[in-house]
């Protein structure tokens, strides 16, 4: 049988024992140096391996490349190594890593993974690591990196035969994509570039993802290659936009520094997941802060306190501007009625547009404060620590700590949260995360929570109630994840690295960009979609007209003995007209479904309208409860109206239903796109609606027994 030849590129940082490893593998005798730059020329050695299973012999040629800390062009060693890896022919890379300095060595590993070549990681000096009390989980590291990891010792020859065997195994296997994942804003731009190439069916020798990464890193060779191609004209503005977006989020304008930070975050995250030591001393300020913030006893209480404080601020600080905005809309509604009189046009503007849109816009301050707080925690690097902190806790529920990223994004909006789940490489992890995201309350539900919390618990307790609602929804999500993992999507969750970026001062420009973008989207929705919905709700609540009912009540009103009786009859007239309207007919038709929860038809209609967008729940209630309210002139706010018409058990049951039932139509459309299945969408709708109904029923009846 003919001997097969395998050409291996041996790559590692200076002083990781590459030359010693070659000696151990091939019995060659190369000079062993203890300083950078000892091997500037490229050396080759050969060894033979016989595969006992296939009786196949392999001649393995090992190309010892110069030791380099990175693949930049800052030194001769870096240039020689980079040129070889990008331009020469070889079958796979063996990356030699010093086990006693794992994090520093994984910086180069991250860059090698970006090349998209077959690779084996040799964890050298494993014997010295054990002597220093360092334990490395090689299997876990292999899962994280997406390439085989073999613990070896060039000194004792431990693992040398296993390394040879793994070289042959990887050589025979097809190419697999590594699992290095960047920050969300970089992944977003990579996805856009990959989609761009895929739509144009661009012919490329390397995978689109690796091509996109090299373009974003401003790789000179790739730029030269593509500059003369026709696609460059379309690609250039896309690249400029992508880089501007990355610069804004990173706070830097040097793309090499940005990716260096990404590699640092990846290396630190990988080390913290796979390495343990008998004694860990904090050497830097970052380590000292980490020892506190990701302490296994203090970390979660600190996180919960910060989130509680954020929700307290969301309500307490937001209450004042919220009242001012609502007062402004009420004034505009009054002026409209004065100007246009008792006409249908005045009603549609005052009750429909201003009543519905105003109810939503008044909650903008609360939204801004929440977005600001989350953006502040994200830009400092704290949220990545929380992902790591919750990893062990999440694993108990069948999730990975990395799921925290889309789950936190879900507090802003479920649509980008569904998209953020793409960072989860395991399809099972991704599907479970997608199914539970709806339980993590998006910002569109905040107006509902603030409305009911303020009405039934007062401003002094509303912040704590808001925090409790969010925590309860998150717990429901975790329990759902456990159920899905055990009964539906069985199997082990697939672990991978969570990046640990450096701490940095928050960028006001970046925070402004995030908060402005989210707030503008909120207002855009209020000025378009919710405006249309409010007018439709107004129309459905005002038509068809019933002149015979109006005539009957008008006769009674004219005969009323006192102003109080007259006002009461006018209120009953409006209530009767509402019941006979299109909206009332829909509400009455679905009332049997909601009746066991204590909901009247108005609350049922509001929930049904909330399928379009959760903000519409408030605007619908604003339209329904503002119509014909002449009974009590003092009760002119929506909160006062709810407190007058809705009991505490019903209010709590309503909050639970809003917290648990399916997200809006837009989110459902993205869910279907991300899962690729209409059946999964049906499961989501039926499952969340069923859970919402059952727990609202329990809440209503339990609270009714207690009050």
Say yes or no: 168 and 188 in one domain: no
Nearest CA to 621 among 651, 589, 580?
Answer: 651
Residue 197 domain-assigned?
yes
Average confidence (pLDDT) over 236-242 = 92
Query: Which residues span the domain enclosing 700?
Result: 303-544+581-706
Q: Which tokens belong to 509?
A: 């420009």
User: Is residue 25 a contact partner of residue 164, using CB atoms and an 8 Å limit?
Assistant: yes
Say yes or no: 374 and 234 in one domain: no
Say yes or no: 190 and 257 in one domain: yes
Q: How confident is the model at residue 499 (pLDDT cuts 50, 70, 90)?
A: low
Residue 569 domain-assigned?
no
* 58-to-11, 161, 663 alpha-carbon distances in Å: 21, 13, 57
Element (H, E) at 93: strand 92-98
3-state secondary structure of 64: strand
Of the residues 121, 148, 172, which one is the last residue of a structural domain?
172
Residue 298 domain-assigned?
no
258-267, 303-312, 481-490: range with lowest mean pLDDT? 303-312
User: Is residue 48 a contact partner of residue 63, using CB atoms and an 8 Å limit?
Assistant: no
Taking residue 693's Cβ as centre, other Cβ atoms within 10 Å add up to 19
Element (H, E) at 281: none
Could you tell me which residues come within 8 angstroms of residue 287 by beta carbon, excluding any fewer than 6 positions away? none
Rounded-to-integer distance, Cα 204 and Cα 235, Å? 15
Say yes or no: 591 and 637 in one domain: yes
3-state secondary structure of 598: coil
155-169, 228-242, 355-369, 682-696: range with lowest mean pLDDT? 355-369
Q: Which tokens belong to 700?
A: 């209503």
User: Is residue 17 a contact partner of residue 96, using CB atoms and an 8 Å limit?
Assistant: yes
Rounded-to-integer distance, Cα 167 and Cα 117, Å? 13
Q: Which tokens belong to 105?
A: 């060595």
Is the predicted pLDDT of residue 659 greater than 90, yes or no?
A: yes
Q: Which tokens belong to 451?
A: 């409305």
Q: Give the pLDDT confidence score for residue 74 in this predicted structure.
A: 64
Average confidence (pLDDT) over 467-488 = 89
Cis, peptide link before residue 266, omega less than 30° from 0: no
Rounded-to-integer distance, Cα 617 and Cα 600, Å? 14
Q: Give the pLDDT confidence score for residue 333 in this predicted structure.
A: 83
Residue 563 domain-assigned?
no
Residue 554 domain-assigned?
no
Q: How confident is the model at residue 501 (pLDDT cuts 50, 70, 90)?
A: low
Cα distance from N-terminal residue to C-terminal residue, the chain: 86
Nearest CA to 185 among 129, 128, 243, 135?
Answer: 243
Rounded-to-integer distance, Cα 467 and Cα 455, Å? 16
Query: Which three-class secondary structure string do you get for 379-415?
Result: HCCHHHHHHHHHHHHHHCCCCCHHHHHHHHHCCCCHH
Rounded-to-integer distance, Cα 271 and Cα 261, Å? 15
Say yes or no: 158 and 191 in one domain: no
pLDDT tens by residue, 169-202: 898 888 766 667 888 788 889 989 999 999 989 9
Residue 452 domain-assigned?
yes
pLDDT tens by residue, 76-129: 778 888 888 888 889 999 999 988 889 889 989 998 988 888 999 999 988 888
Residue 556 domain-assigned?
no
Average confidence (pLDDT) over 146-153 = 90
Average confidence (pLDDT) over 320-343 = 83
Rounded-to-integer distance, Cα 465 and Cα 452, Å? 10
Say yes or no: 645 and 699 in one domain: yes
Of the residues 242, 277, 312, which one is the last residue of a structural domain?
277
Say yes or no: 266 and 327 in one domain: no
Question: Among all chains, which residue has been given the structure tokens 């009760």?
Answer: 635
Q: At 64, which CATH number?
A: 3.40.50.300
Q: How confident is the model at residue 497 (pLDDT cuts 50, 70, 90)?
A: low
Mean pLDDT in the chain?
80
DSSP code per residue over 498-535: ---PPP-PPPHHHHHHHHHHHHHHHHHHHHTHHHHHHH
The count of domains in the chain is 3
Q: What is the pTM of this model?
A: 0.56
Say yes or no: 323 and 458 in one domain: yes
Q: Give the pLDDT confidence score for residue 216 in this predicted structure.
A: 92
Is the predicted pLDDT of residue 698 greater than 90, yes or no?
A: yes
Q: At 218, which CATH number?
A: 1.10.287
Say yes or no: 399 and 363 in one domain: yes
Give me the residues paired with residue 5 across strands: 59
Of the residues 213, 242, 277, which one is the last residue of a structural domain?
277
Q: Give the pLDDT confidence score for residue 446 in this predicted structure.
A: 81
Q: How confident is the model at residue 38 (pLDDT cuts 50, 70, 90)?
A: very low
Q: What values do phi and psi take at 57, rounded to 5?
A: -100, 145
Rounded-to-integer distance, Cα 580 and Cα 583, Å? 8
Is the predicted pLDDT of residue 315 greater than 70, yes or no?
A: no
Rounded-to-integer distance, Cα 338 and Cα 350, Å? 10
Element (H, E) at 40: none
Question: Among all chains, which residue has been given the structure tokens 């041996």?
Answer: 10
Q: How confident is the model at residue 415 (pLDDT cuts 50, 70, 90)?
A: low
Nearest CA to 311 among 404, 443, 403, 437?
Answer: 443
DSSP code per residue over 338-371: HHH-SSHHHHIIIIIIIHHHHHHHTTHHHHHHHH
Q: How confident is the model at residue 452 (pLDDT cuts 50, 70, 90)?
A: confident
Say yes or no: 585 and 627 in one domain: yes
How much of the chain exceeds pLDDT 90, in percent?
A: 14
Say yes or no: 389 and 417 in one domain: yes
Question: Among all chains, which residue has been given the structure tokens 């694993």?
Answer: 395
Residue 699 domain-assigned?
yes
Say yes or no: 432 and 486 in one domain: yes
Rounded-to-integer distance, Cα 124 and Cα 158, Å? 9
Q: What values do phi and psi take at 153, rounded to 5?
A: -140, 115
pLDDT tens by residue, 246-261: 988 888 888 888 888 8
Is the predicted pLDDT of residue 32 greater than 80, yes or no?
A: no
* 461-to-40, 468, 645 alpha-carbon distances in Å: 69, 11, 21
Is the predicted pLDDT of residue 539 greater than 60, yes or no?
A: yes
User: Is residue 388 a contact partner of residue 272, using CB atoms and an 8 Å limit?
Assistant: yes
């Amino acid at each position: 049988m003919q001997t097969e030849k395998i050409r291996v590129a041996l790559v590692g940082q200076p002083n990781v024992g590459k030359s010693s490893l070659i000696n151990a593998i091939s019995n060659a005798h190369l000079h062993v140096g203890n300083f950078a730059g000892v091997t500037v020329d490229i050396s080759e050695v050969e060894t033979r391996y016989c595969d006992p299973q296939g009786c196949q012999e392999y001649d393995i040629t090992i190309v010892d490349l110069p030791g380099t800390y990175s693949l930049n062009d800052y030194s001769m060693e870096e240039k020689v190594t980079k040129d070889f890896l990008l331009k020469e022919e070889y079958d796979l890379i063996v990356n030699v890593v010093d086990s006693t300095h794992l994090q520093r060595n994984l910086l180069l590993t991250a860059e090698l993974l970006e090349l998209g070549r077959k690779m084996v990681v040799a964890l050298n000096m494993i014997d010295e690591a054990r002597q220093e009390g360092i334990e490395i989980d090689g299997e876990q590291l292999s899962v994280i990196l997406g390439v085989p990891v073999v613990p070896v010792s060039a000194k004792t020859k431990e693992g040398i035969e296993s390394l040879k065997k793994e070289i042959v195994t990887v050589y025979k296997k097809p190419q697999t994509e590594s699992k290095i994942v960047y920050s969300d804003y970089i992944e977003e731009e990579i996805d856009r570039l990959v989609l761009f190439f895929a739509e144009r069916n661009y012919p490329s020798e390397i995978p689109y993802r690796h091509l996109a990464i090299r373009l974003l890193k401003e790789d000179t060779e790739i730029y030269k290659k593509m500059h003369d191609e026709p696609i460059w004209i379309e690609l250039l503005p896309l690249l400029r936009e992508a880089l501007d977006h990355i610069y804004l989020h990173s706070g830097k304008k040097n793309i090499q520094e940005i990716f260096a930070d990404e590699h640092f975050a990846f290396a630190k995250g990988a080390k913290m997941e796979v390495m343990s030591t008998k004694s860990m001393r904090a050497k830097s300020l970052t380590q000292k802060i980490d020892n506190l913030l990701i302490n296994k006893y203090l970390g979660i209480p600190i996180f919960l306190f910060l989130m509680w404080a954020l929700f307290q601020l969301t309500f307490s600080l937001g209450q004042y501007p919220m009242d001012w905005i609502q007062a402004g809309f009420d004034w505009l509604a009054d002026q409209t009625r004065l100007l246009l009189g008792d006409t249908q046009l005045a009603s549609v503007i005052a009750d429909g547009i201003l009543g519905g849109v105003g109810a939503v816009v008044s909650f903008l301050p609360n939204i801004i404060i929440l977005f600001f707080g989350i953006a502040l925690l994200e830009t400092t690097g704290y949220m990545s620590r929380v992902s790591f902190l919750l990893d062990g806790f999440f694993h108990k529920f069948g999730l990975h700590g990395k799921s925290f990223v889309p789950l936190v994004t879900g507090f802003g909006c479920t649509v980008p949260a569904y998209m953020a789940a793409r960072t989860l490489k395991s399809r099972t992890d991704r599907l479970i995360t997608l199914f539970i995201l709806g339980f993590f309350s998006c910002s569109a539900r905040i107006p509902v929570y603030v409305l009911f919390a303020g009405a039934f618990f007062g401003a002094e307790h509303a912040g704590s109630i808001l925090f409790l609602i969010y925590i309860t929804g998150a717990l429901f999500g975790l329990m759902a994840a456990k159920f899905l993992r055990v009964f539906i999507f069985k199997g082990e969750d697939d672990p991978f690295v969570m990046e640990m970026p450096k701490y940095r001062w928050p960028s006001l420009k970046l925070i402004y960009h995030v908060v402005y973008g989210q707030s503008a989207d909120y207002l855009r929705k209020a000025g378009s979609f919710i405006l249309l919905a409010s007018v439709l709700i107004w129309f459905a609540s005002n038509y068809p007209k019933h002149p015979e009912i109006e005539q009957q009540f008008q006769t009674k009103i004219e005969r009323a003995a006192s102003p109080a009786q007259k006002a009461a009859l006018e209120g009953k007239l409006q209530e009767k007209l509402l019941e006979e309207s299109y909206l009332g007919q829909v509400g009455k038709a679905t009332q049997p479904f909601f009746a066991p929860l204590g909901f009247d038809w108005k609350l049922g209609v509001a929930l049904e309208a909330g399928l379009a967008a959760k903000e519409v729940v408030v605007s619908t209630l604003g339209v329904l409860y503002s119509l014909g309210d002449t009974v009590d002139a003092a009760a002119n706010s929506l909160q006062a109206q709810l407190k007058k018409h809705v009991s505490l058990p019903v209010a709590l049951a309503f909050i639970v239903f809003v917290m648990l039932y399916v997200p809006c139509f837009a989110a459902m459309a993205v869910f279907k796109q991300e899962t690729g299945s209409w059946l999964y969408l049906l499961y989501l709708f039926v499952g969340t609606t069923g859970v919402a109904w059952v727990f609202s029923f329990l809440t209503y009846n339990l609270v009714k027994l207690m009050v």
